[in-house]
Structure 1
Amino acid sequence: MKSVKVVVVGAGVVGFSTAVCIVEAFPSCSVTLLAEKFSPDTTSDVAAGILIPAESPDIPLVRQRRWFKDSFDHLLAIAQSQDSPEAGVMLSSGCQIFRKTPDNLKPFWSEFVIGFRLMTDRELKRFPDHTFGQAFTTIKCECLNYLPWLQKRFQKAGGQVRQRKVNSLQELSDSYDIIVNCSGLGSKDLVGDTQVYPVRGQVLKMEAPWLQHFIRDGNGGAYIYPGMHSVTVGGTRQQGDWRLQVDEEDKKGILARCGRLEPSLSKAKILREYVGLRPGRRNPRVERELVQLQGRRVPVVHNYGHGSWGVTLAWGTALDAARLVGQCLQEMPLQAKL
């Protein structure tokens, strides 16, 4: 009896999360992950990895809430387990501050993080340019640890990993029954999605062990996230910018903005600088379609376009994508499964 062959394209946090969810939900399937680049060379490896979502304009809120809750619960269980140090997943407490009071004082995700509350005037005195703030405990997931940990979990469940650049879905249609596209920014070329665009992010990793709490400006232009091995300081969010080299002016701007929030950063040592291109899109695309490839209709499940919120939503959208794969399996003619 021949098992159904599923291929997942992409080895970032969305790709590996999706591959794990599929191989664990459908152990009778043969699941292969293909990618040109793996950790530490993916966009996910540059991510600060803090779980704070933004609202997608066209996706029902009930679905967005489920994506975030599923992701948070999954990572919380890891953070509270013995796998925490190896997986790079930890609890992180801090604040998000705003120059002007936002329209929504309690965002949709506030009930899923831990201990969400509004900041007091006394706490806000520290940030004279800001008039409103939220304090809470969330999760920080460091992909330099987490991606190898997920890969190990995927392979332990029987998944196969191969390094290969995929230029078109046609290349895969002869070898696989279901294609799962988690190619992020690569979907612009791979499936011709003109809605996908790069959002350039530059960050610094700094040595500042005295910093224990994160600080995030509500507009995302300045953030300080202490982690297990260093403090991630950023950032930029430059739409349509394809540059991968470090920009000195951006670096100065990041240090100036973050230095106003945390003056002690002037004493911190810069360990490394990173640039990554996030897969920007008006909404993440998590859906399935039948695509005509080499004369036959092949089910394709898409899971990409998470922008700055890949780590935040990866597990939730991966569970959704695995459910869509399950629907594809149910609709397959019997001879395809034999």
Structure 2
Amino acid sequence: MTDVELKRFPDHKFGQAFTTLKCECSTYLPWLEKRFRKAGGQVEQRKVNSLQELSNSFDIIVNCSGLGSKILVGDTQVYPVRGQVLKVEAPWVQHFIRDGDGKTYIYPGIRSVTVGGTRQEGDWRLQVDGGDTKGILERCSRLEPSLNKAKILSEWVGLRPSRKNPRVEREVVQLQGRPVPVVHNYGHGGWGVTLAWGTALDTLGLVKQSLHEMAPQAKL
């Protein structure tokens, strides 16, 4: 950023300006599901406490259970990183603004502006924290003072499914005495949307490898 541009941010000595894309998951995820169904996929919602419950239904299991992998497959390396954000009404805000530490950001969207946030490791709370809300508004208003007059539309909390390293690998698990390939794809933390297509392709490759290695069984 030029010296003139940096005058907008008196607490900062360096900055970068660039053009990028923003994915709004409230629209993107339903689109992905629709695409999946159109390709012949089926969606069933139920609670699974153990892979053993799936032993009689599937020949291959792809585990994308995120934080659920802590219990589902006993992965003790999985932990939550709590994030809290606000949606505000500020149509005059047209540019993304993000502080260097990644914890303070302003992202204008189609219907609202997202301001945040928090990054609290090991915190399982899903309730909105009033102190976090106040801190978010104070930090974001220092970057963009006009947010002081913005109307708060909603507050939201989510848990990022984190791990020191994302797990994308295959293992063979004995389920009811039968060897079943399980392909894991989880632990992306706050970069799930960013990494999704790449790790999905890697996962698909492991599924294809499993299918190729399976001995054909005659059905009489």
Aligned to 1:7: none
Give the AA of the match of 1:293: L
Deviation at 1:336, TM superposition (A): 7.6
Provide the C-alpha distance between the structure 1 equivalents of 2:101 and 2:94, rounded to a whole number of angstroms: 22
Provide the C-alpha distance between the structure 1 equivalents of 2:67 and 2:100, rounded to a whole number of angstroms: 25
Aligned to 1:178: 60
Deviation at 1:125, TM superposition (A): 2.1
Aligned to 2:118: 236
Structure 1 portions without partners, runs of 5+: 1-118
Deviation at 1:304, TM superposition (A): 0.6
How far does the alpha carbon of each residue in 1:60-87 deviate from its partner, in whole angstroms, 9 at most, with x for none? xxxxxxxxxxxxxxxxxxxxxxxxxxxx
Provide the C-alpha distance between the structure 1 equivalents of 2:68 and 2:215, rounded to a whole number of angstroms: 31
Deviation at 1:337, TM superposition (A): 9.4
| Identical-pair percentage | 82
Larger-Rg structure: 2
Provide the C-alpha distance between the structure 2 equivalents of 1:285 and 1:171, rounded to a whole number of angstroms: 22
Rate the CA distance shift 1:336–1:144 in 2: closer, same or farther, 3 A. farther
Number of equivalent positions: 220
SS across alignment from 1:246: coil
From 160, 164, 176, the equivalent of 1:294 is: 176
Aligned to 2:11: 129
Query: Normalized against structure 1, the TM-score is what?
Result: 0.63
1:191 aligns with 2:73: yes
1:205 aligns with 2:87: yes
Give the AA of the match of 2:22: K
How far does the alpha carbon of each residue in 1:147-178 deviate from its partner, in whole angstroms, 9 at most, with x for none? 11111110000000011111111111211000
Provide the C-alpha distance between the structure 2 equivalents of 1:330 and 1:120, rounded to a whole number of angstroms: 56
Aligned to 2:159: 277
Provide the C-alpha distance between the structure 2 equivalents of 1:337 and 1:283, rounded to a whole number of angstroms: 41
The one of the two structures with greater contact order (alpha-carbon pairs below 8 A, sep at least 6) is: 1
1:313 aligns with 2:195: yes
Rate the CA distance shift 1:336–1:253 in 2: closer, same or farther, 3 A. farther
Give the AA of the match of 1:277: L
Give the AA of the match of 2:178: R
SS across alignment from 1:155: helix
Provide the C-alpha distance between the structure 1 equivalents of 2:76 and 2:3, rounded to a whole number of angstroms: 46
Provide the C-alpha distance between the structure 2 equivalents of 1:304 and 1:124, rounded to a whole number of angstroms: 39
Aligned to 1:157: 39
Aligned to 2:210: 328
Provide the C-alpha distance between the structure 2 equivalents of 1:337 and 1:196, rounded to a whole number of angstroms: 41
Residue range with higher mean Cα deviation, 283-292 or 245-254: 283-292
How far does the alpha carbon of each residue in 1:99-133 deviate from its partner, in whole angstroms, 9 at most, with x for none? xxxxxxxxxxxxxxxxxxxx223222221222222
Query: Normalized against structure 2, the TM-score is what?
Result: 0.96
Give the AA of the match of 2:170: R
